[in-house]
Amino acid sequence: MQTLILFAVSFGTFYGLRALLPGGFMPRDPVEFLTRNARVAKDLKLIYPPLLALGPPALCAWFGWPTAIRVVRLYCIFGALLLVPLLTLSKFEEVRAQMSVWLLLMPVALLGMQRMIEGGSGTRPTSPSRTITEALTRREGGNIRDGGWFY
C-alpha cells in the first residue's frame, strides 16, 4: 500500500509540474544529443572532459578485469551501461553527471593499478582484497575480522 501511495505522489508531482509549466519539460531527441556529443568530442579532442575523467580509470579497469571478483565486474558493467542514457540524453561534456560511472569503475581500476604496480600475473587472489586486508590488520590495535578499530 505504501508503494502505491509513493507511486501516486511521485507521478502526481510530475504531472502537476507539467500542468503548471507546460513548456518546462522539453522532449529530448536522443539522436540530436548523440550527434551533438560526438561533435563536441571531435572539437575538443584530447581535452574532452569525459575522456580525462573516465579514460584513466577505464584503462586501469582493463588491467584489473582478470583479477576482479564477480561483484566488482558487475559494478564495471553497470557503469558502462549507465553511459548509454548519459550519452543519448545529456550534455556529455558535463562530467559531474558521470561521477556515478566513475565510482562504479573505481574498484576494478584500483585492482588494475595494484596489478600494474605489483607486476601481477593476472590470476585472481584467494581472498577478494588480500593486500587491503593485510594492510588493515597491521594497523594499531585492530583486526578486521573482530572489528578492532572500527568503533
Domain assignments of the chain as residue spans, ordered by start = 28-120, 125-151
The model's pLDDT over 33-61, given as tens digits with 9 standing for 90+, comes to 899 999 998 999 888 899 999 999 999 99
Note the helical H segments in 21-151.
Answer: 30-44, 49-64, 70-89, 99-118, 130-137
pLDDT digits (tens, 9 = 90+) for 105-131: 999 999 999 999 988 655 555 555 555
pTM of the predicted model, to two decimals? 0.61
Cell numbers of 71, please?
561483484
The Cα–Cα gap between 138 and 85 comes to 43
